Amino acid sequence: MDKSKAVVIGAGLGGLTSAAMMSQTGNYDVTVYERMSFAGGRFTQHDHDGFQIPTGAVHTIPHGRKGPFAKLILGKKNKGGLDLGKRGVEFLPTTKFAGMMREGKHYASNSVYGLLPWFPIRNTLNMPRLLASRAKRPWGDETVDGRTWLRKMFTDDFIDFLDAFSNFAISLRFDQMPASTVARMLQNSFWSDRPHIPKGGCKGVIDGLRSELRGNGARLKLSHEVTEILPGEAEEETKKNRFCIGIRRRGRESPTWIGADSIIHNGGHPNLLGSLSDDFEVSEEVRRRVENTQAVGGIGFVFDLDDKIPQRDSGVTMIPGRERVGGYIIPTFSEPDLAPEGRHMMITHQYVPDPSVKSEISKGRDEIFEAIPWLSDHGEELCVHTYHRNWPCNRAPMGAELPSDIGVEGIRLVGDGVKGHGWMMIEGIASNVPRAVDEICTSMEPGISP
């Protein structure tokens, strides 16, 4: 009997992990379609003279081996994981938990408790209040932003430090997010392991996922764009399926039609809604929430460093009190293969307060050199990358709480646009994937086409 056909749209981290989970069951015919010429989305890299330049991420697993991402990627199958250690995927701990560059002086800590002595005692005394706050779910119709809420417990210099971390990680300041989102994000960070670096960088994980897909008989088709999603009966060859999907290969004008019994969409809410035909009913409330959600933008610099730099750790270093730049990381102190022998690579990140991206790049560059006194003597800029507007297509700010289920049976969204509450970056992506996959599998009877 033919297997039910599962189509995954988008080969970003959410799409590839979803496809791997479904393919491991052996119950589905799984195909991933990606409009770009490479897989991995923002979580991969390109080689530049031996430097492994990331496409958006910073070669970092934020919560190490205790977060949702590690549980999904390295966890055993009987516990809901993909067990990709057998595919060579490995996570390497950062040499420090976190650091800070303040007034030209570098601080580094091995744990969250090592950070606290850098600030007034009030912050240490009030830390238990933050950790005990009930924030596993949003607090409803919130009117208080994260920074205002934190000021009840912490001093401004400590909040500035945490705010720099938020800027580095998610391109948002605390005053741009609901208080419950900030509370939960900090709880998840403080309860977690130290960050880790994937062996081989982001692409090491992506290669492991691709190997798993091949081993399970799933297909990945690059340079294939989804143009339209119709009911299955729209075309003769797809009438036995729930959906009829238009796929256009790069270089060809006309799409071809394929059938699918389920869709996992890793291309963002706007693109999914834009491709759905009017035959599918999506509530006005969902459409309004998507329309009113403004994607955030970010800017990242990548520097080539010599081996004489005074800082010798791979922890994320925050730069508090800056208008743009949040912080930086030197991942090569954990994974030397990310740069040529005898060199190091530093990656910075900053949010974009103004839509004039070129101007923001110039201002951010000035801030970086001003904040890191040794950089001009030991570093050279390799490149700068930005994301804004509709690239990458699947992103939403922390606290948006967009739904994975838009009300169309057999379709679920994954990716950065549907992060779990309080889970940031790839941890947020991983927190939603198992549930989305489970709901899709439940909507189909294994081995039977609708």
> For 232-251, how does the pLDDT look when each residue is reduced to its tens digit (9 = 90+)?
999 999 999 999 999 999 88
Tell me what the mean pLDDT of segment 133-154 comes to. 96
- Phi/psi for 69 (5° steps) reads -65, -45
- Give the whole-angstrom CA distance, residue 235 versus residue 255: 13
Q: What percent of the chain has pLDDT over 90?
A: 88
- Note the pLDDT tens digit of each residue in 32-41: 999 999 999 9
- What are the contacts of 232-240 at 24+ separation with CB within 8 A? 232/259, 234/277, 235/259, 240/449, 240/450
Average predicted confidence (pLDDT) for the chain? 94
Residue 294: predicted pLDDT: 83
Rounded Cα–Cα distance for residues 116 and 80 (Å): 36
Closest CA to 41 of 21, 60, 55, 62: 55
| pLDDT one-digit tens code per residue, 353-368 | 877 788 999 999 999 9
User: How far, rounded to the nearest angstrom, does the alpha carbon of residue 22 sit from its chain's CA centroid?
Assistant: 21
- Classify 93-198+298-387 by CATH class: alpha beta
In the block, tokens 């009190």 appear at 321
Q: With cut-offs at 50, 70 and 90, classify the pLDDT of residue 118.
A: very high
* H helix or E strand, kind and range, residue 265: strand 262-265
Q: Between 2.70.150.10, 3.50.50.60, 2.40.440.10, 3.30.499.10, what CATH number should domain 4-59+201-292+393-442 receive?
A: 3.50.50.60
- How high is the pLDDT of residue 445? 64
Residue 450: the pLDDT is 37
pLDDT at 399 exceeding the cut of 90? no
Helix or strand (DSSP H, E) at 159: helix 156-170
Rounded Cα distance, 13 and 3, in Å:
25
For residue 447, the model assigns a pLDDT of 44
Q: Which of 50-54, 118-122, 417-421, 436-440 has the lowest mean pLDDT?
A: 417-421
Q: Residue 110: pLDDT above 60?
A: yes
Query: Any idea where the domains of the chain sit in the sequence?
Result: 4-59+201-292+393-442, 93-198+298-387
Q: Which of 136, 130, 138, 134 has the alpha carbon at shortest distance from 178?
A: 138
Give yes or no for a contact between 275 and 226, defined as CB atoms under 8 angstroms apart: yes
Tell me the whole-structure pTM to 2 decimals. 0.95
- The predicted structure's pLDDT at residue 251: 84
Residue 279 has pLDDT above 50, yes or no: yes
By C-alpha distance, which of 211, 204, 212, 207 is closest to 23?
Answer: 212
Which has the minimum average pLDDT: 32-36, 134-138, 302-306, 400-404? 400-404
pLDDT of residue 211: 98
Residue 92 reports pLDDT greater than 70: yes
pLDDT of residue 395: 75
Q: What confidence tier does 219 reach under pLDDT thresholds 50, 70, 90?
A: very high
pLDDT attached to residue 392 = 56
Q: CB of 96 within 8 A of CB of 316?
A: no
Type and span of the H or E element at 17 = helix 13-25
